[in-house]
Amino acid sequence: DQQVKQNSPSLSVQEGRISILNCDYTNSMFDYFLWYKKYPAEGPTFLISISSIKDKNEDGRFTVFLNKSAKHLSLHIVPSQPGDSAVYFCAASGGGATNKLIFGTGTLLAVQP
Amino acid sequence: SQTIHQWPATLVQPVGSPLSLECTVEGTSNPNLYWYRQAAGRGLQLLFYSVGIGQISSEVPQNLSASRPQDRQFILSSKKLLLSDSGFYLCAWSTTGLAGARKDFGPGTRLTVT
């Protein structure tokens, strides 16, 4: 049962344009959502997060939007740069003592120069 | 600042051989520790987590085991590797509480079982 879904396995965007990566979840108990960026043969690096009590969080070129009623979040990258090319993972946490993260399957973003 | 180490970086092992992957964290105490695996073309699957020394929880039934002999050391093991154990293994740590939702990952170990 995939609780966190990224339905687009890949996305191609021109440099300078906006990249929009989408993520859907099924468990309404998730209270924290995160985005990670991953290059091949490296560990994921944290990008940005959002608490379930907010609907938007911004950090530089990266903005995450959360729509709780639709159980949907998205990551916007503006403007996109070639160095942004990587796999982006959406993750959700249900809190508690263990704070386990449930990851989506990832979206490969390719930013064309 | 905190640093997480994993070794080896790559490993090629025959089917049926044992496995030991090590993860250590510096610059923090009593972290939550996690082992994840990324199989080819798939997302990150949580394998084990630990909230303290000697405390291990398994997320999925499998051919692997984990141990936490020291506060900042987490070990992933197998007695006999299967072909399906191939993948990219990642160790992660976090604090507890709300801030613990964020996990910081190590560089990973690429395991190929032949």
CA dihedral sign, ordered A62, A67, A68, A72 = negative
Instruction: Tell me which residue has tokens 């859907």.
Output: A24
How far off is chain B from A106, nearest CA to CA, in Å?
Answer: 6
Interface A–B counts its CB contacts (< 8 A) at 64
CA-derived radius of gyration, chain B = 13
Residues of chain A with a CB closer than 8 angstroms to some CB in chain B: 6, 32, 34, 36, 41-46, 49, 89, 91, 93, 95, 97-106
How far off is chain A from B97, nearest CA to CA, in Å?
Answer: 7
Burial of residue B91 (CB within 10 Å: 0-12, 13-18, 19+) is: buried
How far off is chain B from A16, nearest CA to CA, in Å?
Answer: 28
What count of residues does chain A have? 113
pLDDT tens, N- to C-terminus, chain A (113 residues): 678 999 999 999 999 999 999 999 999 989 899 999 999 889 999 999 999 999 999 999 999 999 999 999 999 999 999 999 999 999 998 766 667 888 999 999 999 99
Mutate to test the interface with B, among A90, A101, A107 (most CBs of B within 10 A): A101
In this prediction, residue B1 carries a pLDDT of 82
Looking at beta carbons, which residues of chain A come within 8 Å of B96?
Answer: 97, 99
CA-derived radius of gyration, chain A = 13
Q: How far is CA B28 from CA A3, A101, B1, in A?
A: 31, 20, 8
Q: What is the pLDDT of residues B33-55, one digit of tens each?
A: 999 999 876 789 999 999 999 99
In this prediction, residue B42 carries a pLDDT of 73
Residue of chain B whose alpha carbon sits nearest to that of A92 = B101
Low-confidence ranges of chain B (pLDDT < 50): none
Looking at beta carbons, which residues of chain B come within 8 Å of A91?
Answer: 44
Looking at beta carbons, which residues of chain B come within 8 Å of A101?
Answer: 34, 46, 92, 101, 103
How far off is chain A from B43, nearest CA to CA, in Å?
Answer: 4
Tell me how crowded residue B89 is: count the other CB atoms within 10 A of its CB.
23
In this prediction, residue A41 carries a pLDDT of 86
CA angle B65, B44, A25 (to 5 degrees): 125
In this prediction, residue A9 carries a pLDDT of 93
Cβ-defined contact of B102 to A45 (cutoff 8 Å): no
Q: Which long-range contacts (CB under 8 A, 24 or more apart) does A15-19 make?
A: A15/A79, A15/A80, A15/A81, A15/A82, A15/A111, A15/A112, A15/A113, A16/A79, A16/A80, A17/A79, A17/A80, A18/A76, A18/A77, A18/A78, A18/A79, A18/A80, A19/A75, A19/A76, A19/A77, A19/A78, A19/A80, A19/A84, A19/A109, A19/A111
